[in-house]
Structure 1
Amino acid sequence: PAAVYLRLYSGTLRLRDTVALAGREKLKITEMRIPSKGEIVRTDTAYQGEIVILPSDSVRLNDVLGDQTRLPRKRWREDPLPMLRTTIAPKTAAQRERLLDALTQLADTDPLLRCEVDSITHEIILSFLGRVQLEVVSALLSEKYKLETVVKEPSVIYMERPLKAASHTIHIEVPPNPFWASIGLSVTPLSLGSGVQYESRVSLGYLNQSFQNAVRDGIRYGLEQGLFGWNVTDCKICFEYGLYYSPVSTPADFRSLAPIVLEQALKESGTQLLEPYLSFILYAPQEYLSRAYHDAPKYCATIETAQVKKDEVVFTGEIPARCIQAYRTDLAFYTNGRSVCLTELKGYQAAVGQPVI
């Protein structure tokens, strides 16, 4: 059976327990392992906050075991975007093609894992949701594919959002435009989380569908790299003006010119950096109450609620994804390992501090 990694949000899981699996069937726990002191060890009992490894061929990605109402909150959404990325390389150059094939196979089975080759540096770039996922990928490459790899420290994936409405037009036969096309685009910022919207205000009666599709393809390509080099989101792009010369103009002219026009429109608009934020639930000893409020600003975290239950205090709040690893390390130190911090991707918000570009 395949190894399945689960997070235990609530309750206790014991060997030989039978739990409901996503409302489809019952799953009997016949074997459990947990990470402990850098190793994967067998256990008879797993507790809230732990990562549990089960052998199973019936559990699928995003399945919920047990009572779904006891999750800390609804799952962020069905297809969350990766929020971390890193570069990965084989220890020997001769294994590069094998590594690319293996990563392609893994990405095909995991919608939260993306693999691409940088067109300039030719580095292999992995995008993923969390550090545990990267550890699983590294273990599979070693154990299943017999590949030893070098992985750099992950960094968060930023995004960009236009600051204000702007437009730009590049005209045909006006240097330095080398293409047989004229394109005018407008950019309008939308609220956070809106994504990208597109509208063509150029009539199909004038510019036929193949040219229209070429403009949209060029815009889609241009949105992959904003002013800081990150994907552009939360905006509306309008194709305002188009001109072609028959018979010399081709869709390729429009496809090539569109990202150049978009770049100029974004320069006039300016962009703000967005970074991924996590919502968290923190369980800690009651004596940590005052320190939690004191430490939060150091990690750009915001504590929204605090509730005392017996000798334990439960905090909820939000924190930039880039700060969570250091925050967890400090929590473990100051509470002598008695804290549990559960996180979930909340979405993208305006970046604070000095991001790594």
Structure 2
Amino acid sequence: MADKGNARRPAGQDLGASSPDRIRNVVLVGPGGSGKTTLAETLLASAGALPRAGSVRDGTTVCDFDDAEHKHGRSISLSVAPVVHRQTKVNLVDTPGYADFVGDVRAGLRAADCALFVIAANDGVDDATKTLWRECADVGMPRAVVITKLDQARADYDGVLAQAQTAFGDKVMPLYVPERSSDGEVTSLTGLLDSGDGAYDELRGSLIEGVIEESEDETLMDRYLGGEEISSEVLTDDLETAVARATFFPVVPVCSVTGVGCAELLDLAVTGFPSPSEHPSPEVFTPAGATTEAIDCDPKGPLVAEVIKTTSDPYVGRLSLVRVFSGTLTSDQAVHVSGHFSSFFGAEQGHEDHDEDEKIGALSYVFGRTLVPAEAVVAGDLCAIGRLSRAETGDTLSSTDDPRVLRPWSMPEPLLPVAIQAASKADEDKLSQALGRLAAEDPSVRIENNAETHQLVIWSMGEAHAEVMIERLAERYSVNVEQVPFVVSLRETFSGPGKGHGRHVKQSGGHGQYAVCDITVEPLPEGGGFEFVDKVVGGAVPRNFIPSVEKGVRAQMERGVRNGYPVVDLRVTLTDGKAHSVDSSDMAFQMAGGLALREAGAATTVTMLEPLDTVSVIVPDDLVGTIMSDLSSRRGRLLGTDKVGEDRTVIKAEVPQTELVRYAVDLRSATHGAGSFTRTFAHYEPMPEEVARQIEPRDHH
């Protein structure tokens, strides 16, 4: 993230901001390949923050957080670069477009107050684009639409604009019209709010009506329809109101190759986008969970800031990208760090609640991978803090004498499991700490150490996400791992009654080992657990060894009797046995109890039980049939469907977990990124015998 020893102000710009009113936090959102990063670079170059467009790629300054960007050839993490335009600091927050990295998209939405929704003129609006639009809509993010790649061979500005209006509503309206030369090159933009060109009267009229429909002046529409000329100043003020309400979405065409449209886009950001003080702040609580009064974006208010992103750098260690919502951060300031994911979202998120005081290190403004020293950072601004060792992504920073907790933003649920093991003993010694750091950096990763399967599992958003996590283990933390097949936690149960005889007799000089026991087994109803019944008569098994038999039976139940999975829902009755006055022992009767259960399992039918999840799959209406058929092919039991919005349907089904291992990948492929699903454990039920016969026995060693 940081260039070693390269902490200079980009192109001589002063990146400090004295007031929230002089800050705009703008996140770039759009599908992969739409040109977000190139647009950010071009905006920086056009404002003089970079020597030229594209210098991001030669290492002069880098508009990304880590070197993996270059390896994968696409943005895979959130990055920040500020530009000063018209005495206003515009923090450009670039986000990945690939679905695996939606966690960084949501982090970027939290950091910003308005979004540039980027669509390529040669690609149009697909289902993945619609999904990202919903991500913005779900958090009420104000948006402007930027149509890029106007110079591409298949570019169709008018067609893509029409697609956007169809997909996102009639309040998506062009603010500018691209003007082309005789050979088709975009040479300039004409602004519709101040255009006197009669060729654009209809477009201009629709735009003005759309803007003043959001005006707080209820007389404005009547005056306009009555023929009054509305001043551009009034329209600009009402445009900001309309955009801030996330009910009106101006469209700006931009050509990143020539820079046409960049000045207009930055003007819109400064004059038409809400400042941090105009954008609602998150809910605030005390660490104990009590609601507190809302915070204002006031540099003189109580300190409340949030860690938007954490990453590790080989030169400066851990870096925390922070959004200041209230107060002012200063270097060497003592802060209270609060992490309360579990309180808001449940312990299954894998992030334990924590509260501690820390002294922050140096403050910096972030310019891609360059850090520019900062003395103080006011409310509304973004900065980086070095060596904040205990803070995780999503944590709140506040004053030590008045600690606060912000409600964290909603994190996506990682649904693709990848089982790993250390490549060597040296890797094993470092693996746990390295995984903990990865989870602290990226809340869309969940680390599971499964006590039943004894597997270490990285739950990720998809294959690309998992690949990046494994690469970071190797490159950042020098920990190499190997992927192994993921194991689902199955169960075994007896299908009918049976008998077992356990005999453990050994003579090896001195004291031997002697224990014999006879048991009967009976299945219990689902959820019946385990019962042990003593029906021994005449002291055939001495009283002090009866608990030993039970202990041995329980141990064998954990190890299984068919394929090595735990046995459940069983009653075991001890009916008879034999003991020796010298050679019998606790351990001998434990061994005999286990042997008796194994023999009972061999003498009767043992059924494999598999866990089923209730899944809710949301897909576009035209894919409902395809996805229902796919769920049925996975042995799913369909439970019903419901409409979601205008063009999507949720399909509910119960599906065996063994059929869901790669469902996150398969669903994305089948729906071209438009489908999503959630899963919750339902229950265990018998696995079909033809499936059970394919299970490899587990090795408990």
With the length of structure 2 as denominator, give the TM-score of the two structures: 0.37
Matching residue within 487, 499, 522 for 1:188: 522
Alignment correspondent of 1:24:
289
Shift of 1:277: 1.4
- Structure 2 counterpart of 1:126, from 439, 455, 466: 455
Native 8 Å contact 1:161 1:271 kept in 2: yes
Q: Distance in 2 between matches of 1:306 and 1:323?
A: 20
- 1:207 shift after superposition: 4.9
Decide whether aligned partners of structure 1 residues 235 and 86 sit closer, same or farther in structure 2, where only a CA change above 3 A counts: farther
C-alpha displacement of 1:307: 1.2
Maintained 8 Å contact 1:85/1:157: no
Contact map agreement 1:166 1:187 (CA 8 A) in 2: yes
Shifted more, 218-227 versus 135-144: the winner is 135-144
Do the aligned partners of residues 250 and 331 (structure 1) sit closer, same or farther apart at CA in structure 2, a change above 3 Å counting? closer
2:77 aligned partner:
none
Q: Distance in 1 between matches of 2:565 and 2:456?
A: 13
Alignment match, 1:121: none
CA contact (8 A) 1:193 1:348 kept: no
Give yes or no for contact 1:172–1:243 (8 Å, CA) kept in 2.
no
Q: In the TM superposition, what whole-angstrom CA distance separates every residue of 1:169-217 from its partner, at most 9, and x where no partner exists?
A: 346889xxx9522211121112233333323333797755641232122
Letter of the 1:222 partner, please give it.
Answer: Q
Query: Using a 3 Å threshold, how does the CA distance of structure 1 residues 206 and 231 change in structure 2: closer, same or farther?
Result: same
- 1:312-340 CA deviation, whole Å, 9 max, x = no partner? 11111111112224443333233221111
Q: Which amino acid aligns with 1:219?
A: V
Report the CA distance between 1:262 and its aligned residue. Answer: 0.8
Contact 2:427 2:479 in 1 (8 A): no
Equivalent pairs counted in the alignment come to: 303
Separation in 2 of the partners of 1:192 and 1:149?
39
Displacement after TM superposition at 1:235 (Å): 1.4
8 Å contact from structure 2 (residues 306, 322) kept in 1: no
Which amino acid in the other structure matches residue 227 of structure 1? R
Alignment of 1:59-208 (within 5 A): 59=340, 61=342, 63-65=343-345, 86=419, 88-90=421-423, 93-95=424-426, 98=429, 113-114=449-450, 125-126=454-455, 130=459, 146-170=478-502, 179-202=513-536, 207=541
Rounded Cα–Cα distance in structure 2 between residues aligned with 1:342 and 1:13: 22
- Distance across 1 between alignment mates of 2:572 and 2:471: 42
Pairwise CA distance, 1:57: 4.5
Match of 1:80 in 2: none
Structure having the higher helix fraction is: 2
- Using the TM superposition, give the Cα deviation of residue 345 of structure 1 relative to its aligned residue in structure 2, in angstroms: 1.8
Check conservation: 1:89, 1:150, Cα contact below 8 A: yes
Q: Which runs of 5+ in 2 are unaligned?
A: 1-102, 107-137, 142-279, 293-303, 311-320, 324-336, 347-416, 438-445, 507-511, 697-701
Partner residue of 1:337 out of 653, 657, 673: 673
Unaligned runs of 5+ in 1: 35-41, 45-55, 67-83, 119-124
Partner of 1:274: 609
Q: Could you say if the C-alpha distance between residues 286 and 87 of structure 1 is closer, same or farther in structure 2, counting changes exceeding 3 Å?
A: closer
Give deviations 1:238-266, integer Å, cap 9, x for gaps.
22223322233222221121111110011
Work out whether residues 89 and 151 of structure 1, in 8 Å CA contact, stay in contact via their aligned partners in 2.
no
The one-letter amino acid paired with 2:519 is L
**In structure 1, what is the Cα distance between the partners aligned to 2:450 and 2:632?**
33
Question: Quick check: which has more Rg, 1 or 2?
Answer: 2
- What do the CA deviations read for 1:284-333 (whole angstroms, capped 9, x no partner)? 11112222332222211121011123211111111111222444333323
* Among candidates 240, 244, 251, match of residue 575 of structure 2: 240
Q: Distance in 1 between matches of 2:541 and 2:649?
A: 64
1:257 paired with 2:586, answer no
Q: Distance in 2 between matches of 1:356 and 1:281?
A: 27
Distance in 2, matches of 1:254 and 1:347, equals 34
Greater per-residue strand proportion: 1
Q: Distance in 1 between matches of 2:635 and 2:482?
A: 31
User: 3-state DSSP class of the match of 1:155?
Assistant: coil
Cα 1:262–1:325 change in 2 (3 A) is closer
Distance, in Å, in 1 between the alignment partners of 2:687 and 2:576 is 34
The code of the aligned residue for 1:255 comes to: Q
The one-letter amino acid paired with 2:695 is V
How much does 1:146 deviate?
4.4
Q: State, as a whole percentage, how many aligned pairs show the same letter.
A: 16
